[in-house]
Amino acid sequence: MTAARARLAAMVTFATQADRDEFDSRVENVVVAETRQHVLANRRDAVQAQMRIAQLERALCQCEPEREHADYSMPAEYVHAADCAVTAALQVAIP
């Protein structure tokens, strides 16, 4: 009877450990998903801020800005003319 009880206890412990491992992996998946969601939300906010800045620049701009480079596979800043309101605003904002 004692050996059977020991085997039963070992089986229960194994089942409990398997359940614990499954629970831990599910919790880890949730944490990874939440982290990924925060990273994506931060990236989205950064892109939205860049789009808003570009929109404001287009509204204020009095010149025809030129791209820094012609490689359209990479992002580029636009260079405004010296007498443009955007250039003046950037010089005041970033001394």
Q: Where are the beta strands (DSSP E) in 1-95?
A: 66-67, 78-79
Are 95 and 77 within 8 A, CB to CB?
no
pLDDT of residue 87: 76
Are 78 and 65 within 8 A, CB to CB?
yes
Its pTM stands at 0.50
The residues facing 59 across adjacent strands are none
Residue 21 shares a structural domain with residue 8: yes
Residue 1 shares a structural domain with residue 33: yes
Q: Which domain holds residue 41?
A: 1-60
Q: How many domains would you assign to the chain?
A: 2
Residue 50 shares a structural domain with residue 25: yes
Residue 29 shares a structural domain with residue 7: yes
pLDDT of residue 40: 92
Tell me the per-residue pLDDT of 4-63, one tens digit each, with 9 for 90 and over.
677 666 666 656 777 778 877 887 888 888 889 989 999 999 999 988 888 887 787 777
Residue 68 shares a structural domain with residue 54: no
